A and B are shown apart, each in its own frame.
Chain A
Amino acid sequence: MLRRHLLGAAAIGTLARPALLRAQEGPIRIGLMAPLTGVVASGGREMVDDFNWYLSQRNNEIAGRKVEVMVEDDGSNPDTALQKARRLVEQGRAGLLFGNLLANTGLAVANYVKGTGTPYFIPIIAADDLTQRGRIKNVVRVAGYSASQTTRPLADWALKQGYRKIATVSQDYAFGHEQCGGLAQTFTEGGGQIAAQFWHPINTADFSPYLGQLANSGVDAIFTMQTGADGTRFIQQYASFGLKGQIPLLGSMNATDQSVIRTMGPEVEGIVTAAHFAEGSDNPTVQAFVRGHVARFGTIPSLYGFSMYSGAMWVAEALEKINGRTDDPNLLIDTVLKTDLVGSPLGRAVRLDDLGNPIYDIQIRKVVRNAEGKFWNAPMASYPEVSQFWKYDQATYLRQPPYSRNFQGIRR
């Protein structure tokens, strides 16, 4: 890798000069971590592609300085992620870190940067507490979301459809607990009832035990929280059990993400989910982004791609304001927190709350077939200005425990 050697030589040359001068020169070094191997590798690939796509649109330059992206594979493994983060910061001298997909990898890296102060941006990691009870100032969720943020409007929408009794089926880990928790709390506080909650291990091949019970449970709707291959399998089996068309299916945004449904058929049609991004929106900015993505990669963008693209844009805009300085982590973090994301593929401006989590207009989306015959998520209702605290008082909300299998915030 000749490029790295050259960079190394350049870095040694700059060491001799005063710190201030050094800060203004040389490339902006970004450490990008994504799971390029392991269980979520396809999502990881898309993270890197869209991140680089955004930077290539600005000729890999921010504030007149070159951007060097060092890509590392976190192997879908938190120990590997931690080791890679150490290397990027201590050996690669990355001024900021970006990425990771799985919550446990993000939490491991967040714990590390808590000690080093390195700015760490997490467009994909949704673990609630990273911008709530366990907030770390230099960890900012640019263009990301906290897990329970988007399922609360979905619960509100479900109540408005007249659903009074629903059951949930979810992967049994923190991300699932939090997404179900947001839904269950808002739904029961609005007078609804959670009839049953099923938790299944990640990588469940056969959902028939759950589907059998659900078919006879007499619920008005079913909510499922799924990611990756579990999403594909659940939706297929839901249809082949004959439940599709019988009981309405609501889902977490990942369940009908493009990364899941782009390989699927009519069994996905009609599933309702809630997210900040809807690739089927008729907003011209959204459609320009979708067309650009299709032209470049041949696929409709997933949430992974959208989030990394927008996250890169968010930080780049902040860096423009401070001439690309990454030598002062606090300056960068404060600038990012004060920067509103204007030109993103969302087609509307987004700002961060004071804990570093974005406030979005949440779309209630339905999977429909588009003009080319492909399935995508089209918005049918919108909840403006939804923060991670929904309609609760922030301080009161933070006093309740984090969602878990045992605490779902259900009011009886």
Chain B
Amino acid sequence: MPRAGPSLPRLGVALGVLLFAALPLVLPTYQVSVATRILVFSLLAVSIDVLAGYTGRTPLGHGAIFGVSTYVTIYWVTVAGGSPWAGMALGVLAATGLAAVFALLAVRTSGVYFLLLTLALGMVVWGVCLRWSTVTGGENGLRGSVRPAALASQVSFYYAVLALVLAATFLVWRLVRSPFGLTLRGIRDSESRMRALGYNVPLHLFIAFTLSGMAAGVAGAAYALFNEFVSPTTVSLAQSVQGLLMAIVGGVGTLFGGFIGAAAIIVLENTVSFYTERWQTVMGLMFVLLMIFAPEGVIGRGLALLRRRR
């Protein structure tokens, strides 16, 4: 993070990248697939953080945007018989378009109204996916072999996803650090002042929302190749909430917190559910404790501690 001093956060990011790159060398295949899942959801959390952390508007519809990209990609490959690459491109395009529609409706609201409006829009998408069974397969969803032959092995697929997610995250990082990104923070801190300074606030929010949706779409397209299956649960409210939780656990407004949050939640889910069927209770308790002792998230808390030290 630029404001927290130059070297340490960068070192952290570099270490994180190295860690992710080294994972397949030490992990068995199943764990590699868990790591792939973490990467995909990290990008979803990062995309949510653009809105939640930098514009101060918390979206509850990003699961739907993410899932639409998954649907389009899988539909394109399994039903229309197209190539997975074109499918991914179409998926991202569809997600971006959907995000633009959401943005048009939602940018004039803020706070709890923004939350509810995005929630409602997400529910509409969920309803369509559930009921439009001739196209979406309804409750049963769509499935088939989607992953291109070149990425058939778990490890090569992991590296492809790693490259994609890092590239997308880098672009998002540039976006939020750019002068445009600064205007978003300005809007978060004082919308009226930004208006008075002559900024077109709705337009800036519209662009931020659409680009954030695009990032969610990239994650969704990668998920299509990873999961090779999609059903309405992928676009459900639970998906949006999970993405948001990952962003919150890592630290809202830290961008890279998404990686920590996704890793924490997915690893916990995987290990705890091995020992008890009450794993959801354990997860719930963890969130409660986190919100009491580190409401700014893991990275947020870490940065705050660092600052206090100096």
**Which residues of A line the B interface, CB within 8 A?**
1, 36-37, 72-73, 77-79, 82-84, 86-87, 90-91, 103-104, 107-108, 111-112, 114-115, 127, 172-174, 404-406
B139 touches A173 (CB 8 A): yes
Contact A108 B30 (CB under 8 A): no
| Any A CB within 8 A of the CB of B280 | yes
Q: In this assembly, does B138 line the interface, its C-beta being within 8 Å of a C-beta of chain A? A: yes
B30 and A103: CB pair below 8 A?
no
Is the Cβ of A37 less than 8 Å from the Cβ of B139? no
A72: contacting residue among B131, B227, B273, CB under 8 A? B273
Partner of A174, one of B139, B233, B279: B139
A103 to B229, CA, bound (A): 13
- Which one of B29, B140, B274 has the highest number of Cβ atoms from chain A below 10 Å of its Cβ? B140
A172 to B130, CA, bound (A): 10
A104-B141 Cα distance, complex, nearest whole Å: 7
Residues of B within 8 A of A173 (CB): 138-140
CB contacts (< 8 Å) of A77 on chain B: these are: 233
User: How far, in angstroms, from A130 to B234 measured CA to CA in the complex?
Assistant: 22
How far does the alpha carbon of A172 sit from the alpha carbon of B133 in the complex, in Å?
10
Residues of B within 8 A of A91 (CB): 28, 30-31
Given contacts A83-B270, A104-B140, 16 further A-B contacts (CB under 8 A): A78-B231, A78-B233, A86-B30, A87-B270, A90-B28, A90-B33, A91-B28, A91-B30, A111-B144, A112-B228, A114-B145, A115-B145, A127-B140, A173-B138, A173-B140, A406-B134
Are A37 and B280 in touch, CB under 8 angstroms? yes
Neighbour of A104 across the interface among B30, B131, B145, B231, CB < 8 A: B231
A15 CA to B43 CA, complexed, in Å: 38
Q: Sample 19 A-B pairs with CB under 8 A, ordered by A number.
A: A72-B273, A73-B273, A73-B277, A73-B279, A79-B227, A86-B30, A90-B29, A90-B30, A103-B140, A104-B140, A104-B233, A107-B141, A107-B143, A107-B229, A108-B141, A111-B228, A173-B140, A174-B133, A174-B138
A114 to B26, CA, bound (A): 28
Instruction: Assess whether B28 is in contact with A37, with CB atoms less than 8 Å apart.
Output: no
Interface of chain B residues 104 through 148 with chain A (CB within 8 A): 131, 133-134, 138-141, 143-145
Give the B interface residue count (CB, 8 A). Answer: 29
Find out whether the CB atom of B33 lies under 8 angstroms from the CB atom of A86. yes
Q: Is the CB of A79 within 8 A of B234?
A: yes
A82 x B227 contact (CB < 8 A): yes
Contacts of B31 in A (CB 8 A): 91
Residues of B within 8 A of A79 (CB): 227, 229, 231, 233-234
A404 and B234 form a contact (CB under 8 A): no
Question: How far apart are the CA atoms of A78 and B137 in the complex, in Å?
Answer: 13
Please tell me if the beta carbons of B134 and A111 are within 8 angstroms of each other in the complex.
no
B229 and A82: CB pair below 8 A?
A: yes
Smallest CB–CB gap between B150 and chain A, Å? 16
Interchain CB contact (< 8 A) of A108 among B133, B145, B231: B231
Q: Does B37 contact A (CB under 8 A)?
A: yes
User: Which of chain A's residues have a CB closer than 8 A to the CB of B234?
Assistant: 79
B22-40 interface mask toward A, CB cutoff 8 Å, 1 = contact, 0 = none? Answer: 0000001111010001000
Q: Indicate whether B293 reaches chain A with its CB closer than 8 angstroms.
A: no
Give min CB distance, B141 to chain A, whole Å: 6
**Bound: A103/B138 CA distance, A:** 11
**Chain A, residue nearest B236 (CB):** A77
* Residue B170 CB within 8 A of the other chain: no
- The answer to whether B231 touches A37 (Cβ under 8 A) is no
Report yes or no: A405 in contact with B133, Cβ–Cβ below 8 A.
yes
Q: Which of A36, A104, A108, A111 contacts B277 (CB 8 A)?
A: A36
What is the bound-complex CA distance between A115 and B33, given in angstroms?
15
* CA A173 to CA B37, docked complex, whole Å: 29
